């Protein structure tokens, strides 16, 4: 504790408290609701009679990310994004996060600083304060567990339960890109395992790689909905893939859905990469996941307000029909039941 | 989703959503502040103008617990306890928790049900609602990450920063027991590894085993302080050991401390087990950790209010002296500096 040295230290020399102090010493709280951040048994926040919204996500090495092709700064950024995305999916504003890390001995201080730089960059981007966490050792690999706390006025909150018959189903951005980015990276990893001197062949695929490695949460969608005076009847973020998220909205709202394949927004790069792997781009969009776009339903009365937005696409409509989710295929006018719930 | 069967299923058959649903279907929210629990992108809580208090802790298999001697139900219970203990250490009331799990394939559905039974038992005991979480696979072992959310009126909150010169240092319960329980269990594990037919020799040591395997958070201390009209000037829970926690209080408050060895409360069982391992019971209390007792400072004016409580012990007093933490040894009147901070 008496050391005045500025030399980099090892993790062992720093110890748990030293590491936490080292990583968090420059954090500045910006949210007025953050009364007390890191440094006591718990953080204190004050929302002045607004609703508190809480979500949590865990990322595990070897399951959610592969250190062979995931830069640590990107990983830190993404770990924050997946959490704030859930807050936006409630039509709420993220304000604070806590970050818990389990680190194996293979991680150096420099590596953890990179990871933390990603956390801080995302905290800056999304305007959240890092108010606490836990740092511990792990026998194997890295585990990141983040809890995000947000706020909203009661009348702003959007649940999964409010979709009604004839409501329009809208999605932001485009789908399937993150999955194609992952598929590319996994292919290059296999090539690299056979020949470590091989340079990765990723040219021209920046878009899908960024969708996988540095996704963004759709803060802008929430802001724009508010500006337009449109409150969705239900909303969810796309972490597991379009079909899974539609299923959640339908099940929780007690409705079915007609989904039009030709309307599903897919970027040309995603389309080309999918074809190069002999995959159906629609299937990639339906099942790929990790796009972190927002999927929401609106009343038909609000259609005029949103139709001019080039970044939002109406891809279907809700229906009363035994919770059936039906996709209307592009080429053959055939219908195909994706889900049926009871 | 159409299955009406009541037969136990495997984890693979259930899938992530099936598992979450299976584990949480019977959860009932009891806190009036819990507006929405599990089932949407995020939970919603409403504290009506009181302060929100947040803390998080991560438990990693092979670091914080050893599956050879840790019953899963106890582990689930303890994982909740360590978090609510941090909320009490702010003089606040825990209200909600989120639970994230990373599970390797060695865990069966029955095992996870046991773990969850422990979460639920602790949630019942401490009056908290389980409002969300994340469940994922893990390549190796089990990771539990819990975030606890509490509430307090602003004037109730107690930080680590308020200890003043001459304040009395008080601890609840007794110390070193959890560490002695762990030491015993580790010894029996070594014996068992050599001879798996050997029965464990744990007779007469129930107290220290329970301190390790099923600790409790000191909800009663917070209640009793309120009844007595005593607000501590600083407070912390004992997770890392008495000396480490005194150090935190001193550093954050900018004071030093005189600690009297003879006053440190140690249960006779703890004392005997320590001696049987040739360990100094005082060192076990100072460095053992995991006792989850509360350590707090009070103004000398409040001494008359607390002195009759047989479960609280005054073990020292704060002093202005370059942040020195000094222990006054029992037998030789010698002083020994535990910490000096700058």
pLDDT tens digits, residue range B140-172?
899 999 999 999 998 999 999 999 999 999 999
Confidence of residue A161 (pLDDT cuts 50, 70, 90): very high
| Cα A219 to the center of its chain, rounded Å | 11
* Structure tokens given for A308: 């001019």
Q: Which residue of A has its CA nearest to B249?
A: A40
φ, ψ of residue A150 to 5 degrees: the values are: -130, 180
Taking 50 as the threshold, does the pLDDT of residue A2 lie above it?
no
* ipTM score above 0.95: no
β-strand A129-137 against A93-103: which pairing, if any? parallel
Closest of A11, A31, A30 to residue A21, by C-alpha: A11
Task: Measure the CA–CA gap between B166 and B170, rounded to whole angstroms.
Answer: 12
**Inter-chain CB proximity A136 and B237 less than 8 Å:** no
CB within 8 Å of B194: residues ≥ 6 apart: none
CA distances from A226 to A11, A90, A221, A230, A321 (A): 46, 13, 9, 6, 31
Tokens representing A78? 């993404």
Residue whose token pair is 């409040």: B302
Residue B183 Cα, gap to closest chain A Cα (Å): 20
Cross-chain CB nearest to B62 (options A36, A139, A145): A139
pLDDT of the residue at B342: 47
Instruction: Report whether B90 contacts B231 (CB < 8 A).
Output: no
Average pLDDT, chain A: 89
Q: Which two tokens stand for residue A1?
A: 């504790």
Token pair 């390549």 in the structure block, residue: B139
Least confident segment among A111-120, A333-342, B156-165, B293-302: A333-342
Name the residue in chain A with its Cα closest to that of B66: A139
In chain A, ranges of CATH 3.90.650.10 domains: 168-339
pLDDT band with cut points at 50, 70 and 90 for residue B334 = low
Confidence of residue A96 (pLDDT cuts 50, 70, 90): very high
Q: Do A341 and B1 touch (CB under 8 A)?
A: yes
Distance between CA atoms of residues A298 and A292, nearest Å = 19
Of these ranges, A16-30, A56-70, B45-59, the one predicted with the greatest mean pLDDT is: A56-70
Maximal CA-CA distance, chain A: 75
**Which residue, among B212, B51, B9, has the nearest Cα to A47 in the 3D structure?**
B51
CB atoms near residue A207 (< 10 Å): 16
* B159 vs A contacts (CB less than 8 Å): 36, 40
Q: What angle do CA B324, B325, B326 make, to 5 degrees?
A: 105
Residue ranges of chain B assigned to CATH 3.30.1330.10: 15-156
- Contact across the interface for A43 and B53, Cβ inside 8 Å: yes
pLDDT at A172 over 90: yes
Name chain B contacts of A100, Cβ cutoff 8 Å. 56-58, 145
- The domain made up of B15-156 has a fold known as 60s Ribosomal Protein L30; Chain: A; (3.30.1330)
Task: Give the β-pairing of A93-103 and A51-60.
Answer: unpaired
Model confidence pLDDT, tens digit, residues B232-286? 999 999 999 999 999 999 988 999 999 999 999 999 999 999 999 999 999 999 9
Is the pLDDT confidence value at B340 over 80?
no
The number of beta carbons lying within 10 Å of the beta carbon of residue A228 is 15
pLDDT at A271: 96
Whole-number Å distance between alpha carbons of B43 and A150? 10
Sign of CA dihedral B13, B16, B17, B23: positive
* Cross-chain Cβ contact A60/B96 below 8 Å: no
Measured between alpha carbons, how far is A334 from A341 in angstroms, rounded to an integer? Answer: 21
Chain B residues in contact with A147 by the CB 8 A cut-off are 54, 56, 98, 147
Start-to-end CA distance of chain A, whole Å, equals 62
What is the least distance, in Å, from the CA of B38 to any CA of chain A?
A: 10
Using a CB-CB cut-off of 8 Å, the residues of chain B touching A63 are 102, 136-139
Give contacts of A56 with chain B, Cβ < 8 Å.
98, 100, 132-134, 145, 147
State residue B171's pLDDT score: 98
The CATH number that domain B168-339 falls under is 3.90.650.10
For residue B205, report the phi and psi dihedrals to the nearest 5 degrees.
-115, 25
Contact A52, A33 (CB under 8 A): no
Give the pair of three-digit tokens for residue A178.
Answer: 């993150």
CA–CA gap between residue A217 and residue A203 (Å, rounded): 25
* Residue A293, φ and ψ in degrees, nearest 5: -80, 165
Contact yes or no for B145 and A58 at CB 8 A? yes
Residue of B nearest to A340 (CA): B1
List chain A residues with CB under 8 Å of B41.
Answer: 55, 86-87, 89-90, 160, 235-237
Lowest mean pLDDT among A47-61, A167-181, A323-337, B21-35: A323-337
Parts of chain A belonging to CATH 3.30.1330.10: 11-156
- The pLDDT value given to residue A8: 56
> In this predicted structure, what is the pLDDT of residue A3?
42
How much is the pTM? 0.89
* All residues at 6 or more sequence positions from B341 whose CB lies less than 8 Å from its CB, including other chains: A1, B247, B250, B251, B323
Is residue A28 packed enough to be buried (19+ CB in 10 Å), middle (13-18) or exposed (0-12)?
exposed
What pLDDT, on a 0 to 100 scale, did the predictor assign at position A13? Answer: 78
pLDDT at position A342: 47
Residue B94 has pLDDT above 60, yes or no: yes
Residue B2 pLDDT class (50, 70, 90 cuts):
very low
Q: How far apart are CA B135 and CA A181, in angstroms?
A: 24
Closest Cα to residue A31, out of A155, A123, A157?
A: A123
What are the residues facing B44 on neighbouring strands?
A: A53, B36
Mean pLDDT of A58-64: 95
Contact A49 B44 (CB under 8 A): no
- Residue B237's closest CA among B64, B52, B87, B75? B87
Is A11-156 a CATH 3.30.1330.10 domain? yes
């Amino acid at each position: 504790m008496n050391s005045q040295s500025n030399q980099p230290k090892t993790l062992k020399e720093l110890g748990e408290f030293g590491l936490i102090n080292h990583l968090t010493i420059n954090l500045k709280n910006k949210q007025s609701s953050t009364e007390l951040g890191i440094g006591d048994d718990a953080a204190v926040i004050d929302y002045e009679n607004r609703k508190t919204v809480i979500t949590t996500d865990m990322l595990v090495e070897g399951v959610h990310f592969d250190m062979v092709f995931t830069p640590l700064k990107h990983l830190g950024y993404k770990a924050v994004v997946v959490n704030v995305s859930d807050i936006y999916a409630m039509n709420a504003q993220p304000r604070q996060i806590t970050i818990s890390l389990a680190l194996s001995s293979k991680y150096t201080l420099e590596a953890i600083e990179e990871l933390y730089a990603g956390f801080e960059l995302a905290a800056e981007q999304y305007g959240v304060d890092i108010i606490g966490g836990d740092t511990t050792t792990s026998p194997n690999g890295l585990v990141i567990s983040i809890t995000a706390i947000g706020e909203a006025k009661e009348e702003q909150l959007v649940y999964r339960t409010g979709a009604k018959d004839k409501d329009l189903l809208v999605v932001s951005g485009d789908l399937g890109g993150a999955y194609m980015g992952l598929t590319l990276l996994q292919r290059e990893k296999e090539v690299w395992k056979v020949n470590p001197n091989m340079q990765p062949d990723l040219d021209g695929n920046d878009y899908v790689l960024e969708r996988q490695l540095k996704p963004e949460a759709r803060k802008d969608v929430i802001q724009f909905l508010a500006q337009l005076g449109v409150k969705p009847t239900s909303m969810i973020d796309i972490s597991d893939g379009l079909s899974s998220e539609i299923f959640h909205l339908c099940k929780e709202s007690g409705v079915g859905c007609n989904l039009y394949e030709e309307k599903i927004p897919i970027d040309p790069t995603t389309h080309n990469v999918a074809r190069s792997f002999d995959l159906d781009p629609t299937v990639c969009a339906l099942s790929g996941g990790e796009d972190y776009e927002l999927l929401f339903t609106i009343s038909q009365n609000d259609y005029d307000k949103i139709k001019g937005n080039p970044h939002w696409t109406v891809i279907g409509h809700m229906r009363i029909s035994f919770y059936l989710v039906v996709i209307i295929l592009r080429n053959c006018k055939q219908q195909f039941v994706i889900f049926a719930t009871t």
